Every structure is written in structure tokens, then in C-alpha cells.
């Protein structure tokens, strides 16, 4: 078996705003395995400033991985414990190599175009008019769940946007989620959650920055609005530590991004613990190309979770790879009549 790695820069169709700044490009890496004239493809989706493996020696670690591919998947996953995005890339690549079709990792009714995955529509940060136009667009497109990034513009303006949605659409028409990306301070968080809860929101992601366990636990206990942990899960590798974190904070939900928490294996550990502790969960992509998104979507379908998932990011880039993935009426579908065009040139 031979292994190689390749860097690829994804370009956003329009700059996308988060509380950590404006995104114009997204760097990603691919691991290609070759054996007996077959190829396996996996995407290592790193998010600069957010991924725990955003380290100066990241490329060096990819090189080491390819040079030591003979160790096999299980041993490599152990060796790469602190590089969750590479773990995920390897899981995909090994599954891809074994498959008759390198992009068919989990055959199901989803990949047979018989079932689709319910997803949320994502509203990026920007000025009021820009955010309002996105909201209208998503509703027109048939989304029944909208996730809005908050925390970067004036809070009163954000409340006004939520009010304008609720004035027009009831809770039975549209499910609203918000994602603060840790933008609130612990002192102001509860008061802000009270104001947000007036608009019958489904949940808020990561209201305060991670690693403030006591404050987050208190917030989850007192909140009038269900809290979902996201960034809080990043960098917690050990199963015992995962259990400790969930028991300490006792959140209403957790959100799993396979590229950030150790792929399918790392995500499944969180899911099993969440299920045992009656904590809800859903899966979200982390701005991967269609290669990584395809792997996450196929795996997500096997989990049989009917909540809207965060998998609607495939259309954000000008130079994404053509794939069978399509978003229609708020659902991610796999159109098996469409072909892949995976070209790193």
C-alpha cells in the first residue's frame, strides 16, 4: 500500500462571517491510498484557529502518517490521538479503499436515493440586511430549521431579526437554532439567554467560551433555553474525560463534528455517552469539501437520528468537487445518477 497527501484550498463564493472573523478561503488536505490498482480517498478537514490539531507540524504529521501507513488503521488512530482531523481522513481513506466505489462508504437507502437527511439552513453573520436576505432565501428554499450565527453584530439587532422571523413564522413553521461560538461573557450569558428564549428557539450552541466548566454547568442548570455544546468537546480525547465533562456540565445537547473530535470513532464515543445520560445530539460538518461532507452524511444516515443535522455546507465554495450530493427543500439528498469529479489540479 502507498499513501500520499495533498493540500487543497477551497474558495468561498462570498466571504462568510463568524464570531471569529470573516472566512474567504478554507484549507483542507486529502490522504490518497493506493493498493492493487485501487484508490482510497479521505479528507483531513482542518479549521485554522479552531481545530485542536492546528499546529505548526501538521503537514509533518501528515507526511509521517503516509510514511507509516503499513502500521494499519487501528494503530495509526492510536498514534494520531491528538490529530482528530487526520484520524478522520484515515478512517475515510481505508473505507474508501475497501469499497467498490471509492465514494460509497456506507451503502444505504440514502446512497440509493431512497431517503434524504433533514438539515438546517445556515445563516452567516453580516449586517442586518444581509442576514435578513439569507433568512428569506432559506425559508423560500423550503428549510424547516434555520441556524443563525449570532454574537458579532449588535445583540439588539440580532433580537430584532429573530423577532421579525417569529412575527411571520410560528414555532410549527420554522425551528430556530442560534450559534454564539462562545461570544457571550459568563456574567451576561444568562440574561441574554432569557431574552433569546422569548423567540421560542430550539437551542443555542456554545453561549460562552469552552473550558469554563463551572460557569457552563451553572448556565445549563439555570437556562430557559436548551444549550448545545460544540467547541467544548474539542481536544477531549480520553473516554473517561469525555464522561467527566458531560456529567459535570450536563448539557441539553452536544454537537459532533467528526473532523474536530476524532472521526467516526471519536464521535461515536460521545454519542454513546450522551445516550446513556439522556443528552440529545446531532451531527454537523465543519466546512469540508464534498468529499468529507459525503462521508459524514453517509455515516450520519446510519445513526437514524431524525433531528435536522448541520450538513448543508457543500454549496459554499466556488471550487468544490462535483458530487451526487444535492440540497432540496431542506433535505440533503444523494442523487446516484450524478457522478463525482474529484480533481486536485
How many other CB atoms are found less than 10 A from the CB of residue 300?
25
Q: What percentage of the chain exceeds 70 in pLDDT?
A: 99
Please say if the pLDDT value at position 201 is more than 80.
Answer: yes
Query: Which pLDDT belongs to residue 125?
Result: 75
Query: Which pLDDT belongs to residue 168?
Result: 87
The region of weakest confidence among 214-218, 263-267, 310-314 is 310-314
Span 91-144, pLDDT tens digits = 999 999 999 999 999 999 999 999 999 999 988 877 788 888 888 899 999 999
Query: Which pLDDT belongs to residue 129?
Result: 85
How many other CB atoms are found less than 10 A from the CB of residue 72?
12
Query: Which pLDDT belongs to residue 18?
Result: 61
Could you give the number of structural domains in the chain?
Answer: 2
CATH number at residue 88: 3.30.390.10
Please say if the pLDDT value at position 253 is more than 70.
Answer: yes
Q: Looking at residues 168-188, what average pLDDT do you find?
A: 93
Task: Name the residue range of residue 79's domain.
Answer: 2-98
Cell readout for 291 is 468529499
Helix pair angle (290-302, 84-98), 10° resolution: 80
Cell readout for 196 is 433569546
Cell readout for 203 is 437551542
Q: Looking at residues 214-223, what average pLDDT do you find?
A: 98
Query: Which pLDDT belongs to residue 249?
Result: 98
Query: Which pLDDT belongs to residue 117?
Result: 98
Please tell me which residue in 149, 156, 242, 338 is annotated as part of the active site. 149
Query: Which pLDDT belongs to residue 254?
Result: 98
- SS3 track for the chain: CEEEEEEEEEEEEEEEEECCEEEEEEEEEEEEEEECCEEEEEEECCCCCCCCCCCCCHHHHHHHHHHCHHHCHHHHHHHCCCCHHHHHHHHHHHHHHHCCCCCCCCCCCCCCCCCCEEECEEECECCHHHHHHHHHHHHHCCCCEEEEECCCCCHHHHHHHHHHHHHHCCCCCCEEEEECCCEECHHHHHHHHHHHHCCCCCEEECCECCCCHHHHHHHHHHCCCCEEECHHHCCCCCHHHHHHHHHHHCCCEEEECHHHHCHHHHHHHHHHHHHHCCCEEEEECCCCCHHHHHHHHHHHHHCCCCCCEECCCHHHECCCCECCEEEECCEEEECCCCCCECCCC
Same domain flag for 46 and 134: no
Please say if the pLDDT value at position 207 is more than 90.
Answer: yes
CATH number at residue 187: 3.20.20.120
| Mean pLDDT score of the chain | 94
Same domain flag for 151 and 203: yes
Q: Looking at residues 29-58, what average pLDDT do you find?
A: 95
Same domain flag for 124 and 10: no
Same domain flag for 126 and 81: no
149 catalytic? Reply is yes
Query: Which pLDDT belongs to residue 23?
Result: 80
Residue 180 lies in a domain: yes
Query: Which pLDDT belongs to residue 232?
Result: 97
Please tell me which residue in 257, 268, 276, 336 is annotated as part of the active site. 257
338 catalytic? Reply is no
Query: Which pLDDT belongs to residue 17?
Result: 63
Please say if the pLDDT value at position 20 is more than 70.
Answer: no
Domain boundary among 63, 98, 133: 98
Same domain flag for 292 and 328: yes
Span 49-105, pLDDT tens digits = 889 999 999 999 999 999 999 999 999 999 999 999 999 999 999 999 999 999 999
Helix pair angle (263-276, 239-249), 10° resolution: 40
Residue 192 lies in a domain: yes
What are the residues whose beta carbons fall under 8 Å from the beta carbon of 247, sequence distance 6 or more? 277
Residue 185's pLDDT band, with cuts at 50, 70 and 90, is very high
The region of weakest confidence among 203-207, 287-291, 302-306, 314-318 is 314-318
Same domain flag for 180 and 285: yes
Please say if the pLDDT value at position 19 is more than 60.
Answer: no
Same domain flag for 137 and 276: yes
Domain boundary among 98, 130, 153: 98
Amino acid at each position: 500500500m502507498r499513501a500520499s497527501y495533498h493540500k487543497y484550498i477551497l474558495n468561498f463564493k462570498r466571504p462568510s462571517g463568524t464570531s471569529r472573523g470573516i472566512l474567504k478561503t478554507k484549507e483542507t488536505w486529502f490522504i490518497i491510498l493506493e493498493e492493487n490498482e485501487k484508490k482510497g480517498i479521505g479528507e483531513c478537514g482542518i479549521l485554522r484557529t479552531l481545530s485542536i490539531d492546528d499546529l505548526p507540524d501538521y503537514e509533518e504529521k501528515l507526511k509521517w502518517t503516509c510514511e507509516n501507513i503499513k502500521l494499519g488503521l487501528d494503530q495509526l488512530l492510536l498514534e494520531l490521538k491528538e490529530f482528530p482531523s487526520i484520524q478522520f481522513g484515515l478512517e475515510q481513506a481505508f473505507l474508501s479503499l475497501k469499497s467498490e466505489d471509492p465514494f460509497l462508504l456506507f451503502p444505504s437507502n440514502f446512497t440509493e436515493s431512497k431517503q434524504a437527511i433533514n438539515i438546517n439552513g445556515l445563516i452567516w453573520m453580516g449586517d442586518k440586511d444581509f442576514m435578513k436576505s439569507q433568512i428569506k432565501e432559506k425559508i423560500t428554499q423550503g428549510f424547516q430549521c434555520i441556524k443563525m450565527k449570532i454574537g458579532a453584530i449588535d445583540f439588539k439587532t440580532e433580537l430584532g431579526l429573530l423577532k421579525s422571523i417569529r412575527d411571520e413564522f410560528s414555532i410549527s413553521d420554522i425551528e430556530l437554532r442560534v450559534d454564539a461560538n462562545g461570544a457571550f461573557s459568563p456574567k451576561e450569558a444568562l440574561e441574554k439567554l432569557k431574552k433569546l428564549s422569548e423567540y421560542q428557539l430550539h437551542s443555542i450552541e456554545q453561549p460562552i467560551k469552552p473550558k469554563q466548566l463551572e460557569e457552563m454547568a451553572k448556565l445549563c442548570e439555570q437556562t430557559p433555553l436548551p444549550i448545545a455544546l460544540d467547541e467544548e468537546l474539542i481536544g477531549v480525547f480520553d473516554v473517561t474525560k469525555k464522561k467527566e465533562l458531560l456529567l459535570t456540565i450536563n448539557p441539553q445537547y452536544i454537537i459532533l463534528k467528526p473532523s474536530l473530535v476524532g472521526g467516526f470513532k471519536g464521535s461515536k464515543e460521545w454519542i454513546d455517552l450522551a445516550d446513556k445520560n439522556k443528552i440529545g445530539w446531532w451531527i454537523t460538518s465543519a466546512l469540508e469539501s464534498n468529499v468529507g461532507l459525503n462521508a459524514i452524511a453517509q455515516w450520519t444516515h446510519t445513526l437514524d437520528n431524525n433531528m435536522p443535522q448541520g450538513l448543508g455546507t457543500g454549496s459554499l465554495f466556488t471550487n468544490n468537487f462535483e458530487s451526487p450530493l444535492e440540497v432540496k427543500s431542506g433535505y440533503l439528498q444523494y442523487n446516484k445518477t450524478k457522478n463525482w469529479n474529484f480533481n486536485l489540479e
